[in-house]
A and B are shown apart, each in its own frame.
Chain A
Amino acid sequence: MTAVLQARGLGKRYGRRWALRDCTIDIPAGHVVGLVGPNGAGKTTLLKLAGGQLAPTSGSVAVLGGPAGGPAQLAKVGFVAQDTPVYAGLSVADHLRLGARLNRGWDAALARNRIGQLGLDLSHRAGNLSGGQRAQLALTLGLAKRPELLILDEPVASLDPLARREFLQGLMEAVAEHELSVVLSSHLVADLERTCDYLIVLVDSRVRVAGQIENLLATHHRLTGPRRDPGRLPADQHVVSARHTDRQSTFVVRTEAPIHDPAWTVSGLSLEDLVLAYMEKPAAARPLLEVQQ
């Protein structure tokens, strides 16, 4: 497995606050990777570091085998930033020209075709585009530089459901056509489920779980039964989350082996349940009131 993105002890500090701390992560090539986590988990910071937009305070991050942010890396990595910024004063045609001028590997035909398919008017000012059109323009710029890795940071967060679906569909088509690796962050699990085949849950700069979505769904189970202490579960069943009432216990466990204990009612998990189980903090470590920035 070659890694498109590899971070080792990666950290970024703003003033006194660590936005990302001691993050170690491997993202394999050839996947559409969904990066999910609560707000403030460090997703944006991680992706900006990978895109070379930020310099790390500590540790290192490598993209496609080289340190992120180098001139050689810039050409190979596409980056669509949060809220898909475009130049409000420039026209759609100006944006394509910008891409053509600033990228050696620019695929003018791809860019033109995509804009044509989207029905965007070339003379339209980008400032007058709808949110969905703007996102599509930013995606077009990211795709037409023909990157090996495309990083998208919450690209659909501010879009309506229809625009969101069109955007992700466009992304999927491009991935199929050009065989690129994609890392996509979102806090909307439903979007990721449609788009991604690999999932990483990032909480407090730490990778909670990473793996192919198919495998994750196959190896995670919800066990419901009479109240029991988590320590008394078999050793190969890794407890992700545990919930107890007076008489009943509900566990989310990860295990490769089949579950034979007749006391349990075993059910599958949806991807959303799985993600939520990992995002929950261990009961003991959880403060009463949590203040988030």
Chain B
Amino acid sequence: MIWLTWRQLRGGAVTTAVALVALAAVLALTGPTLASDYSSGITACTRGGDCARFFDRFFDDKQIPFLAVTVVVLVLPALIGLFWGAPLIARELEAGTHLLVWNQSITRTRWLAVKLAFTGLASMTAAGLCSAAVTWWAEPLDKSAAPGFTLMDPLVFGARGIVPMAYAAFAFVLGVTVGMLVRRTLPAMAVALAVFAAVQLAMPLVVRPHLLPPVSSAFELSPANVDGIHMPRDGGSLALTLESAIPGHTGAWVLSSHLVDRSGRTLDDSGPGAIAVSTSSGPCAPPEQRPETAQAGDHYAGCLAEINRLGYRQQATYQPFDRFWPFQWIEAGLYALLIAGLTAFCFWWIRRRVS
């Protein structure tokens, strides 16, 4: 039975292997350069003192390949579900070959078990290898990633560590289940893709933020969490935009970030009139009126200090960076439950309902 399963998977497996080897070759060729650039850059910047700028530049330069390999890891499970999962049973039912194979001297339970286990393991191996290669290659970039692209952020989280394997196994079993219900390959592929995409969106949007209770805290405003201050020249009120980052917690996944005033009331992010600070005189007046602040940076810092003094804070809920691995395991566990449920359903259905 393993032979037959392998024989039926062979074409797809070879294609996938060739693609993975090509990807691995590219990563292996560029990875060491990336790592040495990073370490020499770190050495230089620790002497010079401004590593933040180095991180920004380093990450900006490599952002496109970084996103490309990340997307590869995110898309691979969907492809596995489409091309390995959905046709696994649907194609047999469509061509009637299930009647041929079910009349050999093995039970259909065993037939399904071998097909699921073998192809499922192949799916997990492919996704695991792909994720491992990308995780290795992207390590310097993950360390210097800009807010929104850190390991905890939804885009990157799903493309590192062990969750890609869970996604691949889930996509595969989902494809098999849908194929068994729909009984036709192409519609099964479409339905499986739609359901998988919905689950993959629902996970980071709805479920993942609550895997562990998020931390909620107020932070002083500083260049780390303030994107910009707009100081109107005509004496209107000050506008401030926050970045989705929090000082002192590099790489945290910021779920929400608001400006609050002294009493803890949430202010509209950049609404006019929100911040009650004088813009005609004092630290937040336009620089022309305050020639004593020679540099724009000083002026900016002075204004920020004044806003802080007035009690304005960034109120943020977030998942700290050190929860990356706990989250990986919890999420993989959740998918394992889904996989177990779908697998049990497949066995029940093939025994009772499919003809």
- Chain B residues packing against A (C-beta within 8 Å): 1, 3-4, 7-8, 11, 95-97, 99-107, 351-352, 355
Contacts and interface: CB of A to CB of B under 8 A. Distances in A.
B103 A78 contact: yes
Contacts of B100: 81, 85-87, 138, 141
A54 B98 CA distance: 12
Contact of A54 (B8, B97, B107, B355): B355
B244 to A, nearest CB: 50
Contacts of B7: 90, 94, 98
Nearest to B105: A75
Contacts of B106: 71, 74, 102
Contacts of A89: 8, 11
Nearest to B111: A102
A235 B104 CA distance: 50
A194 B330 CA distance: 67
B107 A71 contact: yes
Nearest to A71: B107
A104 interface: yes
Contact of A79 (B1, B4, B95, B103): B103
Contacts of B352: 55
Given A51-B103, A89-B11, A104-B105, 8 more contacts: A48-B355, A53-B102, A55-B351, A79-B99, A81-B99, A85-B95, A85-B96, A85-B100
A74 B351 contact: no
A88 B95 contact: yes
Contacts of A97: 3
A101 interface: yes
A97 B103 CA distance: 15
Contact of A53 (B8, B99, B104): B99
A116 to B, nearest CB: 21
Interface residues of A, number: 34
B96 A102 contact: no
B355 A102 contact: no
A83 B96 contact: yes
12 contacts: A53-B99, A53-B355, A71-B107, A81-B103, A99-B104, A101-B1, A101-B4, A102-B101, A102-B106, A104-B105, A138-B100, A142-B103
A75 B106 CA distance: 8
Nearest to A137: B100
A48 B355 CA distance: 8
Contacts of A86: 97, 100
B77 to A, nearest CB: 25
Contacts of B1: 101-102
Nearest to A141: B100
A81 B96 contact: yes
A105 interface: yes
A85 B3 contact: no
A105 B105 contact: yes
5 closest A-B pairs by beta carbon, nearest first, are A102-B104, A85-B96, A81-B99, A75-B105, A79-B103
Contacts of A85: 95-97, 99-100
A102 B4 contact: yes
